[in-house]
Amino acid sequence: MELLEKTRPVQTLPQTTPPSGGARQNRENLQQASRTLDAYRSTVNRLLSGDSETFNRQVRQRSGQ
Amino acid sequence: MPSSDPERLPKIAGADIELGNFLLGHDSESGTGPQASRLLLRFLNGIPGSSFSSFKTDPQDFGRKWLGNGSCCYIDLDHLEMALPEVTNAWDFTAALHAQLRIVRAALRRAHDALPPGVSLHALACNSDGSGSSWGSHLNFLVTRRCYENIFHRRLHYLLWLASFHASSVLVTGQGKAGAENGAGPVDYQLGQRADFLEEIVGLQTTFRRPIVNSRDETLCGESRRFARLHHIASDMNLCHVANVLKVGSLQILLAMIENESPQIGLELILQDPVQAGIAFSHAPELDARQPTLAGEAVSALNLQRRFHEAAAAFVATGACAESVPRAEEILALWADTLDRLAARDWDALSRRLDWALKLRVLQEALQENPHLSWQSPEIKRLDLLYGSLDPDEGIYWSLEAADCVERLVPERQILRFVTEPPSDTRAYTRAHLLRAFGREGVVEVNWDRMVVRARPERGYYGRLKTIHLDDPAGFTRARTGGLFPRHHNISGEAILMGLAPAVRDEAAQAAVSSGWPHTNRDSARKRSAFDGIPPWR
C-alpha cells in the first residue's frame, strides 16, 4: 500500500463539479450526479464480487500491434 | 535535398486502434479473440473494401468495411481494428474517437442478440491483456516527405528528440495499468500500458520489439512524393477528452516544428536512453523518477514535458504553424495547465483529465474499501481491464463520465454527428459521400487514397470502372466537392465523376481483370461470410 500513501489522491468518492444554472436546476443536476455515482459504485462492487480469475484468463489475447 | 524553406502541410491526424475482444462462456483452445472480432465485424454496417479479392486471407487486414462516416473497421490478427476518418484538429479527433467507440458498441449489442444464453461478448479499449500481449492505438500524422527523410535519414537528432518527448509524454497519455509485463521490473501500478512493450528507439516493426518511433513508410497518399505519414505506435488508448486533445495536439505542434526545421529543437532535451526512461517514467506514479539527458542532467518526466512545452510555445509564437495546427494556442494553454496540476499533485483535477489518474483513483478506492485485496489481486486487475470496456454496464469510464467526473472538451452533439457524418475538412468527406452515392453495388474497391467505382451501374451489370484518386488528405473537403453531393436529391454517378475530374482515371479496368473481376461487392460479402470463422451458432 506504499503507493497509496505516496500518491494520496483518494478522497472517499470522485467529486462532481457543481453545475451551473438556477437553484432548482442545480438541485436536479446534483441528484442526477448522485444517482450516477451510485451506479458507478454499484458497478465496481458488482465487478469486484465476480469470478475475476476466470475473467482475466479469458481476456488473454493474441499479441496485436 | 533542397536548402529552400521547407513546405508546411496541415497536420492531418488519423488513428488505427485495436480493441481487446473475447467471449465469456465459450472456451477455445486458441482463445476466443478470433470469434469475438469476427462477430463484431459482422454486425458493423459498411461496404467491403474490395470486391476483387474475395478470398483474401491477410491475417492483418481481414474483412475491411468502410463506414458512412469515412472510417473503416477490419480484423488485424484477432483484434477488431477501427481506423478513424482523417481530421484536422485534436478536438475533432476526440469526437471521432468517441463516435467510433459508439459505433462498435452498437455492433456489440447487436452481436449479443445472436449469442446463445450464457455466452457474452466483450470489447476493451486498452492496450494490454495483463498477461504479456499488447495491441496498439496508433496515430497517423501527415508530414512532408522532406520531414520524414529528416527524421529517419538525415537529421537523426530529430528522431532522438521525438523519442525523448514520447518517453516523458506518458505522464499525460498513459491509460494506467496494474502491474508490469514483458519482463519489466515489478510495480504495483504504472502510468502507461505500452511502455513495457517499447524496446527500441526506431524500427519498422509493430508487433515485436516495438520501437518508440516507428519508421513504417506507407503514405496512403497515392504516388505523390510530396506527402509522407508518420505512424506513431508508442502511445496508449485514451478515453479522457483532455488526454486525447493533448496527445494529438502536442504531437501536431512538435511535428510541425520538425517539418519547419525549427531552431527550437534543442539537443538539451534528448535523453541518454529514451527506452529505459520511458519504462522508468511509466513505473513512477509518484512522479519522482529521473533520467539522464545527453548532458548528464537528471530530469523528471514533468521537467522534460515543461521544457518541451516551452520550446513548442516559442515555436507557436513565431506563427509558423498558424496554418498547419488549428487551435495551437489552446493546446499549449491546456498542456501548461495540466503540467501545473501535475506539479501540484492536484489529483482532483488530474483524475478529471488523465486516464491513468482516473483509473488510479478507482483502483485505490477499491483497495481502501476492500482491505483484503492487494494490487496483485485478480479483482484489481479485472477492474483495470474493464476501465474501458465498451459495454456501459461494466465499463467504469462511462459511469464516471456520466457522473460528471470527467472533463469533457467536445460536446455530445459533435460526437453524435461523427457517428454518421464525416469530418467536413479532409478527404474523408468525399470518401464518405462517394460511398453513399455509389453504394454497395457501385463501389468496387476502397482504400484511403483511392476508390474504384462503376461509372454507370444503371446501364449494365458491370458498368465502366473508374478510379478516383484521393491523394491529398487535406483536399476533397466539403468546400471543394460539397456541391457534387446535394443533400436532398440524387445526382448521377456520371455527374459526380465529371465533377471530380481530373482525379478520375480509367486505369481500374485492367486491374479489375487481373484481380479476378468480375465480382460484385454482394458476391464477395457472401463468399467471405462462408469462410470467416464465425462461430457455429450463427
All residues of chain B having their beta carbon less than 8 Å from the beta carbon of residue A26 are: none
Chain B, nearest residue to A51 by Cα: B379
In SS3 terms, B175-187 reads as: CCEECCCCCCCCC
Q: Residue ranges per domain, chain B?
A: 418-531
State the catalytic residue, choosing from B5, B16, B27, B76.
Answer: B76
DSSP secondary structure letter of residue A35: H
Residue B511 has pLDDT above 80, yes or no: no
A37 in a domain, yes or no?
yes
Chain A, nearest residue to B234 by Cα: A65
- CA of B209, closest CA in chain A: separation in Å? 11
Give B56's Cβ-side CA count (13 Å radius).
Answer: 19
Identify whether the C-beta of residue B93 lies closer than 8 Å to the C-beta of residue B141. Answer: no
pLDDT band at B487 (very low <50, low <70, confident <90, very high): confident
All residues of chain A having their beta carbon less than 8 Å from the beta carbon of residue B19 are: none
Residue B35 has pLDDT above 90, yes or no: yes
A28 in a domain, yes or no?
yes
Question: Which of A7, A47, A65 is facing B286, going by the closest CB pair?
Answer: A7
pLDDT digits (tens, 9 = 90+) for B360-386: 999 999 999 999 999 999 999 999 999
Provide the domain limits for residue A33.
19-50
Q: Does A20 touch chain B (CB under 8 A)?
A: no
Q: CA torsion B87→B88→B91→B95, rounded to 10°?
A: -10
pLDDT band at B455 (very low <50, low <70, confident <90, very high): confident
Nearest-CA neighbor of B474 among B193, B142, B134? B142
Give B116's Cβ-side CA count (13 Å radius).
Answer: 6
Question: Which of A10, A55, A56 is facing B361, going by the closest CB pair?
Answer: A10
Higher pLDDT, residue A31 or B186: B186
Residue B528 has pLDDT above 50, yes or no: no
To the query of whether residue B355 is one of the catalytic residues in this protein, the response is: no
Mean pLDDT of B343-351: 95
ipTM of the complex: 0.83
All residues of chain B having their beta carbon less than 8 Å from the beta carbon of residue A36 are: 399, 402-404
Output the DSSP codes for B379-414. Answer: HHHHHHHHTTBSSTTT-HHHHHHHTT-S---S-HHH
Query: B31 and A8 in contact by Cβ < 8 A?
Result: no
User: Among A35-39, B195-199, B457-461, which is the least confidently predicted range?
Assistant: B457-461
pLDDT digits (tens, 9 = 90+) for B264-321: 999 999 999 999 999 999 999 999 999 999 999 999 999 999 999 999 999 999 999 9
Nearest-CA neighbor of B337 among B305, B301, B369, B365? B305
Mean pLDDT of B386-411: 95
Burial level of B511, CB count in 10 A (0-12/13-18/19+)? middle
- Give the model's pLDDT for residue A38: 84
- Give the model's pLDDT for residue A15: 44
A61 in a domain, yes or no?
no
Query: B377 and A33 in contact by Cβ < 8 A?
Result: no
A13 in a domain, yes or no?
no
| Most confidently modeled range among A22-31, B140-149, B399-408, B526-535 | B140-149
What are the cell numbers at B294?
545527453
> Could you give the number of structural domains in chain A?
1
All residues of chain A having their beta carbon less than 8 Å from the beta carbon of residue B345 are: 7-9
- Give the model's pLDDT for residue B30: 79
- In this structure, chain A runs to a length of 65
- Give the model's pLDDT for residue B53: 54
**By 3-state DSSP, what share of chain B in percent is helix, strand and coil, each rounded to 5?**
40, 15, 40
Mean pLDDT of B34-49: 96
Q: Does A30 touch chain B (CB under 8 A)?
A: no
Query: B79 and A55 in contact by Cβ < 8 A?
Result: no
Cis peptide before B457 (omega within 30 of 0): no
- End-to-end, the C-alpha distance of chain A in Å comes to 33
A44 in a domain, yes or no?
yes
- Give the model's pLDDT for residue B56: 58
- Give the model's pLDDT for residue B65: 97
